């Protein structure tokens, strides 16, 4: 009986598995892909830039990318136009990664999402109020590029370009800096807007309405559209968390 007791105690006192920095970076990247911060076919930031964004060493990023490559999540291409390219947005380990990275911060991210909606409403109102002819022409050109996009990476790139164009239309770099900071806090440090390709049609409609309102100087309308549009990111977050829970706890 004594041996059984000692064996039970040994099991109870077994060392806990502590996640490494590499584990955390892998989780954050898997979650970023699940959220659509990077879409299939898109190139991830260079190692140096990713290390800066995540506050880790380049060697940590390199090991994390190796693990993603071994899991067929990214493809590494050589040459001047090379880098790590996304091959899939969701894979078996994604659900657990989302659970570890997003779920513990869900309340905070929801609050930040609400703050972003309110802030981007002010940004759009300002852009509509002070837009110049040049800013209006740029926004119309960016909208055209978004409507004509045909691949996930082109859609995502064009989507982000419109957001940046609206910020430039305010003529206030400080507004852009605050917007970038809010995005960084809600996007796991990567400063990349989530993108759900299933909502492309809705995004085209909302971007068209937003750009039109800004170009025409309809301040209140532009603000209302922007506030509703940025709620899309919060819905994407909830969708990913729900998918993760369904996979980990089927039939709950």
Give the model's pLDDT for residue 16: 46
Alpha helices, DSSP H, located in the chain: 2-12, 21-35, 47-54, 58-70, 94-101, 106-130, 133-148, 152-169, 173-186, 200-215, 219-248
As a whole number of angstroms, the distance between CA 184 and CA 190 comes to: 6
Report the CATH fold assignment for 17-98.
Answer: Arc Repressor Mutant, subunit A (1.10.10)
Would you kindly state where each structural domain of the chain is located, as residue ranges? 17-98, 105-248
Give the model's pLDDT for residue 252: 64
40-95 residue pLDDT tens: 999 999 999 999 999 999 999 999 999 999 999 999 998 888 899 999 999 889 99
What is the residue-averaged pLDDT of the chain? 90
Length of the chain: 252
Give the model's pLDDT for residue 147: 96
| 105-248: CATH superfamily | GntR ligand-binding domain-like (1.20.120.530)
- Checking if the pLDDT of 6 tops 50, the result is no
Closest CA to 219 of 121, 143, 134: 121
| pTM of the predicted protein model | 0.85
148-162 residue pLDDT tens: 999 989 999 999 999
- Checking if the pLDDT of 2 tops 80, the result is no
Confidence of residue 199 (pLDDT cuts 50, 70, 90): confident
Which of 130-134, 151-155, 164-168 is the least confident region?
151-155
9-23 residue pLDDT tens: 544 554 545 579 999
CA-based end-to-end distance of the chain:
40
Question: Are both 17-98 and 105-248 of the same fold?
Answer: no
E strand or H helix at 85: strand 83-86
Give the model's pLDDT for residue 12: 52
248 or 164, which is more confident?
164
204-250 residue pLDDT tens: 999 999 999 999 999 999 999 999 999 988 888 888 989 898 888 77
């Amino acid at each position: 009986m004594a041996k059984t007791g000692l064996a039970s105690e040994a099991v109870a006192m077994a060392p806990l598995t502590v996640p490494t920095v590499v584990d955390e970076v892998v989780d954050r990247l898997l979650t970023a892909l699940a959220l659509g911060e990077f879409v299939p076919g898109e190139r991830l930031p260079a190692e140096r830039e990713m290390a800066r964004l995540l506050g880790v060493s380049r060697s940590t990023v390199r090991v994390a990318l190796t693990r993603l490559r071994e899991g067929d999540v990214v493809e590494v291409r050589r040459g001047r136009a090379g880098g790590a390219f996304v091959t899939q947005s969701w894979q078996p380990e994604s659900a657990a990664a989302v659970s570890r990275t997003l779920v513990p911060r869900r309340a905070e991210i929801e609050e930040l999402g609400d703050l972003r909606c309110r802030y981007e409403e002010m940004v759009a109102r300002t852009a509509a109020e002070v837009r110049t002819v040049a800013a209006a022409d740029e926004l119309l050109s960016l909208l055209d590029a978004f409507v004509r996009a045909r691949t996930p990476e082109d859609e995502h790139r064009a989507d982000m370009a419109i957001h940046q164009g609206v910020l430039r239309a305010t003529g206030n770099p400080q507004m852009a800096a605050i917007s970038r900071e809010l995005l960084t806090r809600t996007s796991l440090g990567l400063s990349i807007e989530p993108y759900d390709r299933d909502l492309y049609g809705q995004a085209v409609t909302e971007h068209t309405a937003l750009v039109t309102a800004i170009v025409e100087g309809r301040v209140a309308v532009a603000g209302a559209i922007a506030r509703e549009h940025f709620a899309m990111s919060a819905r994407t977050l909830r969708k990913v968390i729900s998918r993760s829970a369904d996979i980990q706890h089927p039939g709950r």
